[in-house]
Each structure stands twice: as C-alpha cells, then as structure tokens.
Amino acid sequence: MGINLGDMVVLDGGFERLNDNRILSKALDNRYGCAMALCMLEAFKEIDLPFDLIAGATVQEEVGLRGAQTAAVLTQPDIAIVYDCSPANDATGDKDVLGKLGSGVLLRFVDASMLPNRCMIERLKQTAIRHELPYQYYLSLGGTDAGAIHKSNMGVPTLTMCIVARNIHTSSSICDVKDLNAAYNVSKHFLRELNDDAINDMINCNQ
C-alpha cells in the first residue's frame, strides 16, 4: 500500500451536529481557532480599523508552539490575541469544576505557558459584561501559542480567547454552540472597541 515507517497520518473523523447546542467533530482543537481568525477577517473586511489587524493560523502548537514563534517574528505584533480550544472538565457532572460546556468564553487567568496581561484579561471580562455575553474563569496545566508569542521580540502583551471542548485530542471532541457565539461576539466587540489609547494601556500595563 506504499505506507512506510514515519509516514504522517491523520485521524478520520466526521462532523456532526448532535443537537441545537452541541457539535461533535475531530480537531475542534483547533478548528475553533482557525474559524475565529477567519470570522474576524470577515467581520472587519469593510471596516477601517485604527490599527493593522493580522489574522492567521500557526502549525505545530501541539508539539512545542513552534509556528507561533516564527509567526511572532514575521508579524511583529504590538499586542496579540490567541484563540485556542481547551479541555472541558465537566464530563464528571461536577458543578464546581472550571471549564464547563455552554458557560462561555474563558477567562484563562493562568496556564503552564503564560500569565496573561492583566489589562487585557480585565478588558475581556468587562467587554463580556458590557455586552451580556457569558464568560467563565479557567486555569490550565497546558499551554497555547500565547506561551511563545508573549515572550517573542521585546515582549508582546497577549490574551487568549478560548472555549472548552470535551474529549480534545480525540476524533470525537464536543463543543457548545453557545460558547462559539459568545467567543465570536466578545472578540468582535473587543477588536471593534480597540484604539491607540487602549493598546498603549495594555503595553504599559505591565511596566
């Protein structure tokens, strides 16, 4: 069959709408991120923003945030927003866990790769509150591309805008449409309300 040792393979996996709220698919981590980047380009294609918006996708996040390192050098961002899909912790039914499907965009206040810029995460929270969008606090022992980007160049104020999915890294991950919509809307408002002053606040926040 011409298959050799070391060949690259991908998991076969369908895409299914389980019900009005739930989507089952392989690779929601990180089809979510790619979809969000595309949606932001679509949302702002006719709007003249007071800054250059660069949206894209990286490779090899799972094996060491490798594409994020080169992407940060390529784009030299003043600030960065990273979309990633994180593990939900609610499959046990425990109501007190952090990371529940349908509870909104994540305020990922710490993970193994980054402590987020405090101004940016506070601004994300206030944007969600102002626009009555669901959000939830989250911590992770994992990381995202933000881990590489915030340490790139001379340091880049970085924020993650993540949602959760169950069974990530399998061919049957499950996410909630309410979370997708919350992330989409909060991201759109966040970018729409950004201006030089806000960006300078974020840059000066940690100094």
CA distance 185 to 127: 10
CB of 196 to Zn ion, least distance (A): 34
CB of 168 to Zn ion, least distance (A): 6
Residue 29 within binding range of Zn ion, rule CB under 5 A: yes
CB of 118 to Zn ion, least distance (A): 25
Contact 124, 105 (CB under 8 A): yes
Nearer to Zn ion, 29 or 176 (CB): 29
Return the residue nearest Zn ion (CB atom). Answer: 29
Nearer to Zn ion, 29 or 111 (CB): 29
Residue 111 within binding range of Zn ion, rule CB under 5 A: no
Name the one range near Zn ion by CB under 5 A: 27-35, 37-45, 148-156, 157-165: 27-35
CB of 87 to Zn ion, least distance (A): 8
Name the one range near Zn ion by CB under 5 A: 15-23, 29-37, 65-73, 193-201: 29-37
CB of 195 to Zn ion, least distance (A): 33
Please provide residue 182's backbone torsions phi and psi, each rounded to the nearest 5 degrees: -65, -45
Tokens 């380009």 label which residue? 41
Residues shown for the chain? 207
Name the one range near Zn ion by CB under 5 A: 24-32, 42-50, 65-73, 97-105: 24-32
Name the one range near Zn ion by CB under 5 A: 14-22, 28-36, 108-116, 119-127: 28-36
Catalytic residues: 61
Q: Which of residues 157-186 bind Zn ion (CB under 5 A)?
A: none
Contact 98, 137 (CB under 8 A): yes
Pairs from 21-27 (Cβ < 8 Å, separation ≥ 24): 21/102, 21/176, 21/177, 21/178, 22/101, 22/174, 22/175, 22/176, 22/177, 23/174, 23/175, 23/176, 23/177, 23/180, 24/172, 24/173, 24/174, 25/172, 25/173, 26/170, 26/171, 26/172, 26/173, 27/173
Reported as type and span, the H/E element at residue 16 is strand 15-17
- Total site size for Zn ion, rule CB under 5 A: 1
| Chain positions contacting Zn ion, by CB under 5 A | 29
